[in-house]
Structure 1
Amino acid sequence: MYRKHAALLFTVGLLCALEYLQAGMIAFANAPIRGEIEASPEEFSLVAALYACIAVVVISKQHWLTERLGWRNFMLGSISVFVLGALVCGVSADLTSFTVGRVIMALGGASFMTSARLMINLIPPGPGRFTGIKVFATGLAGGTAAAPFISSWVVAENTWHAIFWILIVGALVAAALCVRFLPTSPIPEEDRTPSSLASILLLSVSSFFLLYILQRSYYDFYNDTFIIVGCALLAALGMYTFFHAEHNKAKPFLKVRDLMQPRYLQGVALFCYAYVVLGANNYILPYFLQTGLGYSWDTIGTFQAIGLTGTLATWVIMATLLPKHPAPKKFFILGFIALGGFGWLLSSLTPSANMWSNILPALILNGCFVMLVMSTAAMQTFRDVMQEEKLFAHAYQIKNMMGQIAMAIGTTAATLFLQWRTTMQYNNLNVHFSASDPLYVEQTQQLAQALSSEVGATTANQISVAMHAQMLQQQSTLVASMEYFWVVIGVAVIALIISVTQKTFR
């Protein structure tokens, strides 16, 4: 069985790993890449919004395209476009070429994860499909864990373009494997899903508008709060209109009406929760470790990678337990406990915290949360829709479309929270950094005296003031980040209570 489907299984794991690898590497290395292509944070956020918007539309069209092109042609076309985009990014030296490359990558690669999961259904029902799910989850865990390590390594070696060469190699291997096993025949015309240009246009405009507003809120939210909230609600209304229209159609592009089932709706809500937390944590952790605790970029990447191997270890244990103990509730409970433990361990750190004993255990728990909740949700959410291939495909497409938006919401929420609390803490601490505070004056003078013999009295005073200003920023970030981790504890406790009391996933 395994040998017969070896190429398919390897492709499933590789495509899933590539999806999480490209997203994780570019998110982790966004600051160094911005510097290399001379892009402002606002400009780079537009690139991210474009990618996510295109991803939503491409994911929505995945099944529609495979019906018309056949699996092999669709995957070879997608991989070819992805490779072209990665090649453009790999040789880019400015914002324009990098943006073009990312747009092309989205057109080709945004559906990799969706395609990988749907490929598993090419295996006949039975134990082979569960093996496919295990390989899929292993690819997810492997890509998630490897992303920060690889991106920190290539940035430290001053070769950030290598990110895209790695992706190209992986994609070409996947293309070679697809030629071996994927069917070539398209679906008969009478069985194909219909599509509407107006619906796709509405989805494209609404998703881009929503994602762009979320990205812009990083910089304008506190100055233009009402405008941004109003625009976001308008974009959300556009998204709702798209799904409402599909719900009412006799022959819909996405079978929304057939998916209005409690298990599926609660499962998608759970996925969105997990994606929001994942997006927020992915933003906060590198910033907290670098600005708040002063660790170098390559150290942060290495330890985040080590911590995220917790996802792989957790999946190995889960895969062993699932055949005999498949009930999902215990995995959800353990996942939310792990999330709460992650927040608890990081909620009371000091600048002298040790990476191995104080931070790494929290990073491991974060990886455990991701795997326990998301993999269990994946196995439970689609249980009632797996009998019909098209319905399952649409269900998975919608889940991944919502995941793109939920990740953006999580990043936005974390950014705004950190800006707000850092400013508040900075103002609270800044009152002590003045000439009227005896302790501040004493410490500034002591530091200046220690440096004056090396650089002179005037320069020593300037350095002393600058070092205290840097310390103020570090302390503000540290305290604000710890407040964020208390929020994480709160949302973990709420999710834990809901998980214990709910009756859908038992």
Structure 2
Amino acid sequence: MSSRPAPSTASATQAAPPLALLLTIFLLTLLEFLQSGMIAFAAAPIMGEIGASPEEFSLTTVAYAAVAISTISKQRWFVERLGWRNFVLASLGLFIIGSAICATSDSYQAFMSGRVIMGLGGAAFMTTGRVLVNLIPPSPQRFTGIKYFATGLSAGIAFAPGLASLSVAHDTWNGIFVLLILVAALAAVFAILSLPTELVPGELRSQSHPVLFMSLASGSFLVLYAIQRSQYDFFTDATMLLTILGCGALAMFYFFRSIRTHGRPLLGLQSLKHPRYIFGVALFMLCYVLLGANNYILPVVFQRGMGVPWEVVGQLETLGLSSALLAWLLMMWALPKWPGPKKYLVAGFVSLAIFGIQLSRLTSNAHIWSDVLPALAFNGIFLMFVMATTAMHTFRDVQHHDTALSHAQQLKNMLAQFGTALGVASSTLMLQWRSTEHYTSLATRFENGNPIYTQTLHALSHALTLNGAGPHADTMALAQLAQMVTQQATFMACLDYFLLVATIGLLGAVIMALQRLMK
């Protein structure tokens, strides 16, 4: 009887990764972008349901981001003491509890507490999803894990606006959180089936000093709070904002300076001094700033500038951003044949420029499906080509050491929280500034001596009289005309923003073509 030869070590390492592990990676990454995208898009309806002002709601975003930064900084610390399975299950459990509180909240205070608990659990989902790829033995099969990670990223970005608008359109805004609970529960099932329980020996575990950790937590909150308050106080109380920002930056500087000399620091910065990593993190920061800014500006231009219904805006954004999934499918086909990253980075920034140029040329009567949808598709292509390519190449110098890779991912995702907040704040300030400029310019043309103003006012007054306005027709016509001027000023300010985005895209394409760190 002839015996069958045992499989070689090489063939064993080529075995396909467990499907449960791949689905855990996919679902954790999907959760990260679903929760941020859906809650950001549905901010206005949620504010109405819980009775929160825009300032109060933005404070919940600050609280979530500050808790997220603190939690992400200790992710490796927890994993070393709990093991991957227990850590992921604990994170998902907290996330589910927080989501349940948000889903049942009827006040700002309850919603705030739910978001904080969600941040404690869900902050490290993206970091965890990427580091779990390293549980796959070094081999070409590890790229399969990257595929599931990037697919979760693109699917979360694409489907978040549509799912949020669908939920609110059916008068079930809390359905957003019910969906998150279901996805998190499914991720927990696959985590139980696939993740290891081994702990790191005590002598190899990273250390966390309580004073330093509090310095990081308080510093990140103050910086984020200053960024958030700039939307309301930048033009009236800049001194106060700079003071808060300075105190926060000083506390964070103390944290990062102190851990540099620590034997087993919470974050090993010394191992991250690679030009490729620094360049990649800068690219990620730019992507997150643009992601935050676009998430704020796009609903504004469609709703307030063009009068598109809220539900249609969600469908439009989801259809447009679905191009991210198509772009990733194209990349998966092309990467084995043409692996060099430069061409994808250049193509990504060219897509960003096209997105900005197309939207900067919009008119108030543009057709959303033929004029806007193609531009949104180029935005999705930009996000996937740049973010996926950067994710695959930023960590090449640290990916062979689990602790170094984890610290690299933690630092990148901590900075991402600042990037997103900075994107929202900067786009808000630009919109305020440019809207005021355009409103002043338009308002000076509306005076009694201007025949266009007189004719428009008379036509509006006549139409309102026919509709039963009676003696109030002139006053109502004047108010309606002022509203039209405000809408036009907002629309023109959004066009200025997209022109800036186009400029960033063109400059980015040139820089990517000339750079040598990712070629």
Sort the TM-score into its range (normalised by shorter chain).
Answer: over 0.9
Structure 1 counterpart of 2:169: 156
Which of 151, 154, 157 is the equivalent residue of 1:138? Answer: 151
Moved more, 189-198 or 379-388: 189-198
- Given that residues 260 and 269 in structure 2 are in contact (C-alpha distance below 8 angstroms), is that contact kept between their aligned partners in structure 1? yes
Structure 2 counterpart of 1:458: 471
Structure 1 counterpart of 2:257: 244
Matched, 1:82 2:79: no
CA distances 1:408-428 after superposition (whole Å, capped 9, x unpaired): 111111010001110111111
Matched, 1:170 2:199: no
Q: Distance in 2 between matches of 1:456 and 1:138?
A: 55
Query: Could you tell me which amino acid in structure 1 is paired with residue 328 of structure 2?
Result: W
| SS of alignment partner, residue 74 of structure 2 | helix
Query: Could you tell me which amino acid in structure 2 is paired with residue 367 of structure 1?
Result: G
Structure 2 counterpart of 1:448: 461
Matched, 1:491 2:504: yes
Moved more, 424-433 or 389-398: 424-433
Shift of 1:3: 6.3
Structure 1 counterpart of 2:130: 117
Which of 367, 370, 394 is the equivalent residue of 2:380? Answer: 367
Q: Distance in 2 between matches of 1:454 and 1:67?
A: 71
- Given that residues 448 and 457 in structure 1 are in contact (C-alpha distance below 8 angstroms), is that contact kept between their aligned partners in structure 2? no
| SS of alignment partner, residue 119 of structure 2 | helix
Q: Distance in 2 between matches of 1:13 and 1:50?
A: 26
Structure 2 counterpart of 1:103: 116
Which of 261, 277, 280 is the equivalent residue of 2:293? Answer: 280
Moved more, 463-472 or 139-148: 463-472
From the superposition, tell whether residues 344 and 96 of structure 1 become closer, same or farther in structure 2 (CA, over 3 Å). same
Which of 212, 217, 220 is the equivalent residue of 1:199? Answer: 212
Structure 2 counterpart of 1:378: 391
CA distances 1:428-458 after superposition (whole Å, capped 9, x unpaired): 1111223343321221112211331221432
Q: Distance in 2 between matches of 1:240 and 1:504?
A: 28
| SS of alignment partner, residue 141 of structure 2 | helix
Q: Distance in 2 between matches of 1:364 and 1:149?
A: 15
Shift of 1:461: 2.1
Q: Distance in 1 between matches of 2:300 and 2:402?
A: 43
| SS of alignment partner, residue 211 of structure 1 | helix
TM-score normalised by structure 1 residue count: 0.98
- Given that residues 449 and 457 in structure 1 are in contact (C-alpha distance below 8 angstroms), is that contact kept between their aligned partners in structure 2? no
Matched, 1:473 2:486: yes
Query: Could you tell me which amino acid in structure 2 is paired with residue 113 of structure 1?
Result: M
Which of 341, 365, 383 is the equivalent residue of 1:352? Answer: 365
Structure 2 counterpart of 1:397: 410
Two-structure CA RMSD over aligned residues (Å):
1.3
Matched, 1:327 2:340: yes
Shift of 1:247: 2.1
CA distances 1:447-480 after superposition (whole Å, capped 9, x unpaired): 2113312214323223322221121011101111
From the superposition, tell whether residues 243 and 456 of structure 1 become closer, same or farther in structure 2 (CA, over 3 Å). closer
Structure 2 counterpart of 1:303: 316
Runs (4 or more) in structure 1 with deviation over 4 Å come to 1-4
Q: Unpaired segments of 5 or more residues in structure 1?
A: none
Structure 2 counterpart of 1:92: 105
CA distances 1:181-233 after superposition (whole Å, capped 9, x unpaired): 11112111111111111111111001000001111111111001233134323
Moved more, 204-213 or 440-449: 440-449
- Given that residues 148 and 301 in structure 1 are in contact (C-alpha distance below 8 angstroms), is that contact kept between their aligned partners in structure 2? yes
- Given that residues 73 and 414 in structure 2 are in contact (C-alpha distance below 8 angstroms), is that contact kept between their aligned partners in structure 1? yes
| SS of alignment partner, residue 453 of structure 2 | helix
- Given that residues 215 and 412 in structure 1 are in contact (C-alpha distance below 8 angstroms), is that contact kept between their aligned partners in structure 2? yes
Matched, 1:128 2:119: no
From the superposition, tell whether residues 61 and 456 of structure 1 become closer, same or farther in structure 2 (CA, over 3 Å). closer
Shift of 1:120: 1.0
- Given that residues 91 and 122 in structure 2 are in contact (C-alpha distance below 8 angstroms), is that contact kept between their aligned partners in structure 1? yes
| SS of alignment partner, residue 248 of structure 1 | coil
Shift of 1:494: 2.0
From the superposition, tell whether residues 405 and 456 of structure 1 become closer, same or farther in structure 2 (CA, over 3 Å). closer
CA distances 1:139-172 after superposition (whole Å, capped 9, x unpaired): 1111111100011111111110100000000111
- Given that residues 254 and 394 in structure 1 are in contact (C-alpha distance below 8 angstroms), is that contact kept between their aligned partners in structure 2? yes
Shift of 1:2: 7.6
CA distances 1:50-102 after superposition (whole Å, capped 9, x unpaired): 00000001111111101100111111111111111001011000101101110
Q: Distance in 1 between matches of 2:195 and 2:499?
A: 48
Q: Distance in 1 between matches of 2:25 and 2:264?
A: 30
Q: Distance in 1 between matches of 2:263 and 2:401?
A: 18
Q: Distance in 1 between matches of 2:82 and 2:458?
A: 74
Matched, 1:432 2:470: no
| SS of alignment partner, residue 446 of structure 2 | coil
Q: Distance in 2 between matches of 1:87 and 1:25?
A: 16
CA distances 1:118-143 after superposition (whole Å, capped 9, x unpaired): 11111111122100100110011111
Structure 1 counterpart of 2:29: 16
TM-score normalised by structure 2 residue count: 0.95
- Given that residues 314 and 368 in structure 1 are in contact (C-alpha distance below 8 angstroms), is that contact kept between their aligned partners in structure 2? yes
- Given that residues 26 and 151 in structure 1 are in contact (C-alpha distance below 8 angstroms), is that contact kept between their aligned partners in structure 2? yes
Q: Distance in 2 between matches of 1:130 and 1:395?
A: 19
1:156-235 mapped onto 2 (5 Å cutoff): 156-235=169-248
- Given that residues 17 and 141 in structure 2 are in contact (C-alpha distance below 8 angstroms), is that contact kept between their aligned partners in structure 1? no
Structure 1 counterpart of 2:5: none
Moved more, 450-459 or 53-62: 450-459
Shift of 1:342: 0.5
Query: Could you tell me which amino acid in structure 2 is paired with residue 435 of structure 1?
Result: N
Q: Distance in 2 between matches of 1:482 and 1:241?
A: 41
Query: Could you tell me which amino acid in structure 1 is paired with residue 400 of structure 2?
Result: Q
Q: Number of residue pairs matched?
A: 506
Identity of aligned residues (%): 45
Structure 2 counterpart of 1:51: 64
